[in-house]
Amino acid sequence: MSQVDSGRAGSGRRAPARVAKRGTGQNQTGAGWLFVSPMLIILGIFLAIPIVMALWVSFTDWNGRGNPFGSRVNFVGAENYTSLLTEQGLSRQDFMLSMRNTFYYVLGVVPVQTALALLLAVIVNQKFLKGRTFFRTAFYFPSVVSSVAISLVFVYLFTGTGAINTILSKVGVIGPNWLDDPRGVIHIIGEKVGLWSIDAPPSALASTEVMNLSLWEWFKGPSVALSTIMIQVIWTTAGTFMLMFLAALQDLPAEVEEAAMVDGANRRQRFMNVTVPHLRPTIFLVLTLGIIGTWQVFDQMYVMTQGGPAKTTLTPAYLSYAAAFRQQQWGEGAAIAFILFALIFLLTSIQRYLLRDKDEVAKKKATKAQAKAAKAKGALA
């Protein structure tokens, strides 16, 4: 770096401006590549190349011993993928369990955290409120704390005799053993309303198998243990998304709201017809980030449950880790990672597509509305 530096400094000082300029243009190629080289090296060695290596491993039967690229490792074709997706067996069963769990997890966490974040943002954004900074800080703080530390706190809060169950017992509810309870939430609700008994599930559901899991298992809902983790994640991440909503709310021009007020729109109308359309891009962003984030959930499972009880908190990310690092089935672990990668890619692509569409529609609507408003104004004048 110093070479480039001194060389240019020397030539620049003596040469007239025009030459210096040309010199700069030449040197920028060298300097440019020099400047990006640490990034290229680190991301190349620890990101790009490893992905290719893992792709190779996902087509082998490497067991963790020796060199995964040596001659003693067998190429097994797509076997690791087919055993997860199309063949009867324990691998597929575990993978399907993890997909089911995460599906319910995403379905529960994403809408609730988005709604809670929006609610918190709207509350904190109230102009009359005193100490807004304090509340904003309080709601955001969990987002910056280590997920490991938060997990420990929640394990304690939700333990059988912990704070949550103590509070519940004060209002006459006997709380479950949250993180040790594998019962599915839909199963429990069904039993409560008399649809079925968990101990004797309806045979039509229990005996029909789809992808190695009975329908009864598929429709289990998140287990109580997984729901506990969902509560924790919603509580933790809502603060981050609250900040995004807050930024968007503060971008809303005051004149627009005032105009709506002058037009006689009440508070609810103003919120639904002015604020929400303005927030639409942010809502989509939050949903996208939420979906990307939730499909990757790993830390909580690693710290709190290790996939249990009864595999009801198993997720693809944790399963991939456990298959490789615990069971030494590296090919299978890598295959799970790539399937997860493809899935997240697919979901975000769909969402991008929808977002783009909605944006265009919204824009068209906005221009139409503007034209109408202009017309109305003209008529008034």
> How far apart are the C-alpha atoms of 322 and 327, rounded to whole Å?
6
> How far apart are the C-alpha atoms of 185 and 222, rounded to whole Å?
6
Contact between 292 and 348 under an 8 Å Cβ cutoff? The reply is yes
We find the least distance from the C-beta atom of residue 9 to another protein, in angstroms, to be: 5
Q: What is the 8-class DSSP label of residue 74? A: P
Question: Does 147 participate in binding another protein (rule CB under 8 A)?
Answer: yes
> Of these, 84, 91, 142, 229, which contacts another protein (CB under 8 A)?
142
Residue 127: how many other CB atoms lie within 10 Å: 5
By CB under 8 A, the residues from 272 to 301 that bind another protein are 285, 288-289, 292, 295-296, 298-299
Reported in sequence order, the residue ranges of the chain that DSSP labels E, i.e. its strands, are: 209-210, 213-214
Angle between helices 49-57 and 330-380 (to 10 degrees): 130
Phi, psi of 145 (to 5 degrees): -85, 150
Q: Which two tokens stand for residue 257?
A: 């709201």
CB closer to another protein, 28 vs 370: 28
Question: Does 237 participate in binding another protein (rule CB under 8 A)?
Answer: no
CB closer to another protein, 224 vs 286: 286
* Tally of residues, the chain: 381
Question: Does 29 participate in binding another protein (rule CB under 8 A)?
Answer: yes
> Of these, 81, 154, 178, 218, which contacts another protein (CB under 8 A)?
154
Question: Does 373 participate in binding another protein (rule CB under 8 A)?
Answer: no
Q: How many residues bind another protein (CB under 8 A)?
A: 109
Task: Using the rule CB under 8 A, give the single segment among 99-107, 151-159, 187-195, 358-366 that binds another protein.
Answer: 151-159
> Of these, 75, 103, 156, 353, which contacts another protein (CB under 8 A)?
156
Question: Does 128 participate in binding another protein (rule CB under 8 A)?
Answer: yes
Binding mask 55-84 for another protein (x = CB under 8 A): --x---------xxx---------------
By CB under 8 A, the residues from 38 to 57 that bind another protein are 38-40, 42-43, 45-51, 53-54, 57
For the chain, what is the radius of gyration of the CA atoms?
28
Question: Does 247 participate in binding another protein (rule CB under 8 A)?
Answer: yes
> How far apart are the C-alpha atoms of 322 and 311, rounded to whole Å?
12
> Of these, 63, 82, 93, 143, which contacts another protein (CB under 8 A)?
143
Cis peptide before 201 (omega within 30 of 0): no
Contact between 224 and 174 under an 8 Å Cβ cutoff? The reply is no
> Of these, 78, 163, 168, 195, which contacts another protein (CB under 8 A)?
163
Phi, psi of 265 (to 5 degrees): -75, 135
> How far apart are the C-alpha atoms of 5 and 192, rounded to whole Å?
75
Residue 380: how many other CB atoms lie within 10 Å: 6
Question: Does 244 participate in binding another protein (rule CB under 8 A)?
Answer: yes
Residue type, 290: G
Question: Does 120 participate in binding another protein (rule CB under 8 A)?
Answer: yes
> Of these, 22, 35, 198, 276, which contacts another protein (CB under 8 A)?
35
> How far apart are the C-alpha atoms of 9 and 15, rounded to whole Å?
10
Task: Using the rule CB under 8 A, give the single segment among 22-30, 78-86, 216-224, 370-378 that binds another protein.
Answer: 22-30
Question: Does 31 participate in binding another protein (rule CB under 8 A)?
Answer: yes
CB closer to another protein, 80 vs 223: 80
Question: Does 271 participate in binding another protein (rule CB under 8 A)?
Answer: no
> Of these, 86, 88, 166, 203, which contacts another protein (CB under 8 A)?
166
